[in-house]
Amino acid sequence: MDTDLPGTPGGAGTAGIDVPDDLLAAAELVPAGPTAPRGGPPGGGVSLARPLVYALPAEGPRPRTALVCFPFDLEEPPDGHGYREVELAVTFDDEDLCALDLRPAPGAGAGGGERVSVFGLGRNRLRWVFRAGAGRAGLRPDGRWTQALVRLPGRFTEVHGRLTLRAVLDHPSPDGDHERAEVRTRDEVPFRLARPDTWLAASLAPAPSEPGTGALAAFREPPTPDGGLPPGQHRLCYAVDIEKYSARDNAGMIRAQRALMRVVKAACAHAGVDWAGCGRQAQGDGYLLVLLPDADVTRAVPRLMAGTAEALAAVNAEGDHGGTPLRMRACFHQGIVHEAESGYAGAAVVELFRILDSGPLRTRLAEERDTDLVTAFSDRLYQDLTPHGYDGLSPAGFERAGISVPAKGFTGTAWIRSHPRAPDRASGRAAAPAGRNPR
């Protein structure tokens, strides 16, 4: 992961671990015409997040189709002002790049009569225009997202382009009425999307309010003609999931996803895990990492566990998590994994998620309010690692739990441990480093 893209400074975590910053740019909105809004800053501002890229399954080793998501947050305008219209424009520099689908779709609506217009299908220049409904309420100044399903030209190594944002601001006039003025970002904001930054699209069907799901549900590549079984390899798998994700509003979900991505990337960096080499599958409220077959499990597991705890503490201390601190479940397992048409398949992946979603793991996180992270090992992984003290790992702190999912015909055993947070999180200060060797 390149954390030093132009205009995208890396973020230093406050818990002794580097947490990559997901911010592409924070831009001021300045007057675009002769009528400037009065009574404060020109028109608030906007935070443009780094675009997210979900690779769709396709024939051959390189994806040719991808879903690109552009999340952004409008800042609160000055008192008495309100957004009547917001337009996000995306230009891909490669003119051969073609948009196959755009979401939100034209005519899509939201609360308060908000409507969306979309332009650029079949082109490399795209625009989404959000318009407020009738009345003075205006657009909500919170998180939004747009997404484009694109056909990638040639060999996909990177895609780059530019973003601009324009808004129509309703502002008070001297006679007590309201006037409207146009504001926009002062400059174009460049972005670059490299292949190592892509996520493999999941075969699951997340809620339609989540970034990157609408077009995925509407478009699928055809299966390979020969229907052959892809190679199976013994892989270490690591999955994480956010507690009570669906209880957040749309903006909260977007921010939680960004924060979770930062946590996972920082944990990989801390563990020395090759981010570009990992298989990655987005789950909406969580992520699946499938490490390379030659990964050193004895080092990767304890260091990913410690890195996740430290990065989560740092993100929660910063407060950019969607209104409610992130609390997470995590699980490790290993076994035979196949890279299938729309995700990773195999009994090892199934067991991993059975444990991650199990009652004992959910209950432990719900009941232990002094922790934001609980981790489970499958029984096989636990027996392979903990008796031998790899990288300081030991059985201390783990508790055995029986896992039973009758509806799925699954029974198994997991070993669960909590990661108590430092006592000063409530004060807004960073948690102390969790240490490299968890015990």
Beta bridge partners of 194: 158
> What's the pLDDT tens digit per position in 307-319?
999 999 999 998 7
Give Cβ neighbours of residue 93 (< 8 Å, ≥ 6 apart): 124, 160, 161, 162
419 closest CA partner among 319, 326, 290: 326
Q: In 196-273, which residue ranges form alpha helices assigned H by DSSP?
A: 214-218, 250-271
Q: Which two tokens stand for residue 255?
A: 């921010």
Whether the Cβ atoms of residue 91 and residue 124 lie closer than 8 Å to each other: yes
Q: Is the peptide bond before 225 cis (omega within 30 degrees of 0)?
A: no
pLDDT for the residue 128: 92
pLDDT for the residue 395: 93
pLDDT for the residue 131: 87
> What's the pLDDT tens digit per position in 93-137?
988 888 888 888 766 665 566 788 888 888 889 999 998 876 656
Domains and CATH numbers, the chain: 23-201 (2.60.40.680), 232-427 (3.30.70.1230)
Q: Collapse the DSSP code of 14 into the 3-class scheme (helix H, G, I; strand E, B; otherwise coil) and give the result.
A: coil
pLDDT in tens, the chain (439 residues): 233 323 333 343 434 566 666 788 888 888 876 555 444 445 578 889 989 888 776 555 445 788 899 999 888 877 767 888 999 999 999 888 888 888 887 666 655 667 888 888 888 899 999 988 766 567 887 778 899 988 876 666 788 999 999 998 887 666 666 678 888 998 999 999 887 777 766 433 333 344 444 444 444 444 444 456 777 889 999 999 999 988 888 888 888 888 998 999 999 999 999 887 788 887 778 889 999 888 999 999 999 999 999 999 999 998 766 678 999 999 999 999 987 766 788 999 999 999 999 999 999 999 998 999 999 999 999 999 999 999 989 999 999 999 998 888 889 999 999 998 866 544 443 333 333 333 2
Whether the Cβ atoms of residue 335 and residue 34 lie closer than 8 Å to each other: no
Cα 411 to Cα 65, 76, 239, 362, 379: the distances in Å are: 38, 50, 19, 16, 12
pLDDT for the residue 173: 67
Cα 164 to Cα 36, 101, 267, 269, 350: the distances in Å are: 19, 20, 32, 32, 42
42 closest CA partner among 70, 71, 89, 83: 83
pLDDT for the residue 142: 73
